[in-house]
Chain A
Amino acid sequence: MSAEIYAILLSIVMVIAVAWPLLLAIPALHSRLYWPRHLAIVPVALLAVLPGNVSLQLPWLLFGTGFTIDDATRWVLAMSVVIWFTAATMITSSKQGFANGRSTTFFLLTLAGNLGAVLANDLVGFFCFTTIMSYGFYALFVQNGNAETQRAGRLYLIFLIIADLLLFEALLLAAFTTDNLRFEGVREAMAKASSSQFYLWVTFIGFALKTGIWPAHLWLSSAFKSTNQATALLIIGVPVVMGWLGAVRWLPLGEHAFGISAMIIQMIGVIGVLYATLKLCTPTSVKIVWMSSGAASLFIAALGTGLAHPTIWRQYEYLGYPFIASLGILLALLIVTIGWTQKTRHQHPAVALPRVEILNRWIGATRQWGEDTLLGLQSLWHVSWLKVVKHYQYSSHWQKLQDFVAGWNATITLFVLLGLALAWLAA
Chain B
Amino acid sequence: MSTPFLYALVGTGLFALGLFALIIHAHLLRKILALNVMGSGVFMVLVALAKRTGDAPLDAVPHAMVITGIVVAVSATALALTLMLKLNAKSGHAELPDDRRE
A/B touching: CB–CB < 8 A? no
Interfacial residues, chain A to chain B (CB-CB below 8 A): none
